[in-house]
Chains A and B, each alone.
Chain A
Amino acid sequence: MLVELRLENQGLRQEIKNLNDKLNLKFQPYLSAQVCLRYPFNNNQALIINVGSKEGAKVGSPVLTAENHLLGKIVKVKADTSEVRTIFSTDWKSGVRIRQAGLPADQVDIEAVLTGGQSPKLEFIPADAEINIGDEILSASPDLPLSLFIGKISEIIFQSATSLRQAKLITDYEPNKLQKVFIISDYEGFD
């Protein structure tokens, strides 16, 4: 019995190590890129960056504004440039988790869906979930690294018709003024 438990423990430790190796950004190489063009119409907020397949950019690579701060992911790659779909794009949807201010990342249990747009919002928040303005939004989508910081709750919207709530999200940067971003070049999600 004791041997079984020890073996199981070893197996679980190895699994945690494998996951940490995969998710810990400190061990992942970054590519830095300049924003060279922003989507010129109002129905989207895509960016074009000056890093393409020659430098190692791939479709699906996560794009950050700073270490552990998620902006979006690459959706199209050409030789010298790539298109980034950001959380401000209307076609952005991803799973997120809400962390109450001050709590550690592993004590997060409120899940929601982040819907992109000029003013991104969180949807499908259970009505009984304890959320407050200022709570942090972390990535929880299988195609993105876990627990990347996305933004904070700026407003909570109560929907009387359903048992769910919505919330608006605010980021610590101005998306229209972004000039430099970072790409996690060797991330392979679980699409």
Chain B
Amino acid sequence: MTNAFSVFKILVWIFFIILSFILQSNHFFDIEGVNPNLILLIIFLAVILEKKISEVFVLILIIIILSLFFWPYWLKEILILSFLGLAASSFKKFLTGNDFYDFLILIFLATLAFYLLINFHYFFGNFIVIVSELIYNTILGFLTIFGIKNFFYVKKTRIRY
């Protein structure tokens, strides 16, 4: 754990993780029955923004612990997302190296991989819903990384990566 991975930064992450749990639980962004996967977005945001796998691991551990409180019935889903996050963290060096593109690529692949692993039959029987979520996740991911790049990087607030 480095100084950069400070207590303050962890608290900021925890705030956004809790916010994601609340918004996703309440289907806040639900459009025509399609709910975006905010936890997937937050995990892959951590994968992109945190350069060390140990830091990603800590954040994923926090997500797993919080899921026991928010989603106690759906640990399997969280563990699959965590596995995808850790796998992506290990293999992201093979991507473009550009955070923006890598984030969008990872969201795209992870959304597909999540449904393939969680419910193989669902994946092939409900392709329209999956494609809708894929587009939705990618748009939200685009807005998120665009916002972070512009507001956190350029304006150089206290949170630096």
Total inter-chain residue pairs, C-beta < 8 Å: 52
Chain B residues, CB < 8 A from A39? 74
User: How far is B119's CA from A43's CA once the two chains are assembled, in angstroms?
Assistant: 8
Are B74's CB and A40's CB within 8 A? yes
User: How far is B121's CA from A43's CA once the two chains are assembled, in angstroms?
Assistant: 10
User: How far is B71's CA from A105's CA once the two chains are assembled, in angstroms?
Assistant: 40
User: How far is B71's CA from A81's CA once the two chains are assembled, in angstroms?
Assistant: 12
The interface on chain A, measured as residues whose beta carbon lies within 8 A of the other chain's beta carbons, has a size of 18
Q: Closest residue of chain A to B30, judged by CB?
A: A176
Are A42's CB and B73's CB within 8 A? no
User: How far is B133's CA from A3's CA once the two chains are assembled, in angstroms?
Assistant: 69
Are A90's CB and B35's CB within 8 A? no
Are B130's CB and A42's CB within 8 A? yes
Are B133's CB and A42's CB within 8 A? yes
Given A83-B73, A90-B122; A40-B24 close (CB under 8 Å) = yes
Residue A87, interface by CB 8 Å: no
Interface residues of B in 83-102 (CB under 8 A from A): none
Binary interface profile of B, 15-35, with partner A (CB < 8 Å = 1, else 0)? 000000000110100100111
Residue A78, interface by CB 8 Å: yes
Interface residues of A in 20-68 (CB under 8 A from B): 37-44, 46, 48
Choice from B24, B73, B118, B121 contacting A48 with Cβ under 8 Å = B73
Counting from the closest, the 9 A-B pairs by CB-CB distance are A43-B122, A40-B24, A43-B119, A90-B122, A83-B73, A42-B129, A42-B133, A40-B25, A118-B33
Binding site for B on A (CB under 8 A): 37-44, 46, 48, 76, 78, 81, 83, 90, 117-118, 176
